[in-house]
Amino acid sequence: MVKFEYVLLALLAGRPRSGFDLGRWVETEGQFLRSRAHHSHIYRLLGRMDTDGWIAYEVDPRDGRPDAKVYRLRPRGREVLLDWVRSPYEPTSRFQDPDFLARFAFAAPLDAEAAIRLVRTELAYRREQIARNRERDRTLGFQDPLPELDPGLAQEIFDELHRHGASAVDTWVAWLERMLHRLEARRTQRGNTPA
């Protein structure tokens, strides 16, 4: 699971933000990376990150409202963020894992090579997962089932779930292939661009 501190650091890499701004981002754009993050949790993390020297804040006076702390990255926070972006990624059995999504969302703009490695790792894992599981025997075995259990319907449902899951994984792999192609094409364009 992705550590929420990394998401906050990545957001601060783009521009200084208040704790309120970070919370609002999590509730809207970030809802697919993190299901819920209460503002008090965000402020606790910001306090710890400040103590650890990852971020600093300036007080922004507000007329008629409480002053806001506006946070920005410090050099140590930049190092921590880039270490995370470039760290090895271990895929999980569940595709579209929040750790992958967060890393990809923030790694690509920060370090395209790290993003390429990330996507290649995920693609290799998913392809191997498909090869290992796609054609395996899915016959359900029943022995003295409950009288209420309909074995035929149970098999039908599991077969449908497999077809649905296989289709979803295939769509994921196709998306990964498109992202990899796009990242590699950008790398090639940058390499052919005069400095």
Q: Note whether 118 and 104 are within 8 A (CB).
A: yes
The overall longest dimension of the chain from CA atoms, in Å, is 74
Q: What pLDDT is recorded for position 70?
A: 95
Write down the pTM of the prediction: 0.83
Print pLDDT tens along the chain (195 aa).
Answer: 568 899 999 999 999 999 999 988 888 877 666 556 678 889 999 999 999 999 999 998 888 888 889 999 999 999 999 999 999 999 998 888 888 988 899 888 999 999 999 999 999 999 999 999 998 999 999 999 999 999 999 999 999 999 999 999 999 999 999 999 999 999 888 875 444
**pLDDT recorded at residue 34:** 57
Q: CA nearest 109: which of 23, 41, 15, 31?
A: 15
What would the two tokens of residue 19 be? 């704790």
pLDDT (0 to 100) of residue 98: 81
Q: Distance between alpha carbon 16 and the CA centroid of its chain, in Å?
A: 22
CA dist., res. 139 & res. 181, Å (int):
38
- Closest Cα partner for 22 from 13, 160, 60? 13
